[in-house]
Structure 1
């Protein structure tokens, strides 16, 4: 996986030149939340793909 610095560089390169500081902050916030979620999924007992599909199927049909 990329380092945090590389991920930030990638985000900055993808944003338009006229983006605001708020745009950058938002993308950094999302990056951090996704990283935290992946860390939690790696360290805690998460649901397996089949379990998630079963739950979604139940919720979407009812």
Structure 2
């Protein structure tokens, strides 16, 4: 995750914190946003599988 994105995400998360929020909640949100960033980067780089490819691979994995 880039430094600019990290700062943006931390500010975004901080704005939604409530008195009941925990550090674990912050970690979960940050992890989710990082995963989304990674997925978008993979899609941009063409590192994706079609539904048919996923079905074929999953059949092989579940043998």
Q: TM-score range by the shorter chain?
A: 0.5 to 0.7
Equivalences for residues 13-52 of structure 1 within 5 A: 13-44=15-46, 46=48
> What is the TM-score with the length of structure 2 in the denominator?
0.60
Tell which has more relative contact order, 1 or 2 (C-alpha 8 A, sep 6+).
2
Runs of 4+ in 1 over 3 A off after TM superposition: none
User: Which ranges of structure 2 fall in alignment gaps of 5 or more residues?
Assistant: 53-63
Question: For residues 21 and 4 of structure 1, what CA distance do their matches in structure 2 show?
Answer: 16
Kindly report the root-mean-square deviation, in angstroms, between the aligned alpha carbons of the 2 structures. 2.2
TM-score, length of structure 1 as denominator length: 0.61
Structure 1 unmatched ranges of 5 or more: 56-62
Aligned length: 49
CA distance in 2 between partners of 1:45 and 1:3 (Å)? 21
